[in-house]
Amino acid sequence: MKKSTSPLVYVVDDEPEFAGAIGMLLETAGHTCRIFTSPRNFLRSIQPADCGCILLDVRMPGMSGLEVQDHLARRNFRQPIVFLTGHGDIPMAVQATRAGALDFLEKPVREKTLLSRVRAALKQDARRFKNAAAQRRGRQRVDELSTRERQVGELLAQGCSSLQMADQLALSVRTVEMHRLRMMRRLGVKNTAQAVRLILEAAAAGT
């Protein structure tokens, strides 16, 4: 996750003129584009940490848009995909949407439709990034807990009361309460439920 998070719109279409024209249109709406006329080059270039969305042609020589989508999914790439197609091919649209495409647009595409879909796609990806960043921060905070705080947190996640924790850890209830308070503060959470979520997420990421 070292790449910059300024969002990119990837335009993948074997027709260079079309890709260029779409790129130009997107730039007038303030987007930054990267254009690929070869699906293979695109797959070599995109990184999972790249923030952005993908405008993907369906029929391309060598590799279809659906195959590109499949490749990305198998590599766990999450950038939203909007398909652009020259054929009103319903089964293909169904397949693409089932496989997680955000939308399936027919060429020539209306400016409003295209721009609103791209905005929606970028928003979705930004959310993904925000969530990912929040998770990362949460994990980091859990890692920074002291041994006692962590123990208290884990018991909390198991649903133990302070009294039960005191019993299990052979500490006074007051001490447990103190560790618990410090843990909440370090995690930067307002309530027990948030704390439990962070701890469980960190545990899940750790396994």
Cα–Cα distance for residue pair 204/192, rounded to 1 Å: 18
Closer of 31 and 179 to other proteins (Cβ): 31
Going across the sheet that includes 8-12, the strands are 32-36, 8-12, 52-57, 81-85, 103-106
Asked if 59 interacts with other proteins (CB under 8 A), we say yes
Sole window of 54-62, 71-79, 96-104, 158-166 interacting with other proteins (rule: CB under 8 A): 54-62
Cα–Cα distance for residue pair 1/183, rounded to 1 Å: 27
Asked if 94 interacts with other proteins (CB under 8 A), we say no
Closer of 87 and 127 to other proteins (Cβ): 87
**How many residues in the shown chain lie near other proteins by CB under 8 A?**
23
- Structure tokens that stand for 61 in this block: 């020589």
Minimum gap (Å) between residue 58 Cβ and other proteins: 10
Q: At what angle do helices 173-187 and 192-206 cross, to 10 degrees?
A: 70
User: Contact positions toward other proteins, by CB under 8 A?
Assistant: 15-18, 21-22, 24-25, 27-29, 38, 59-62, 64, 86-87, 107-109, 111
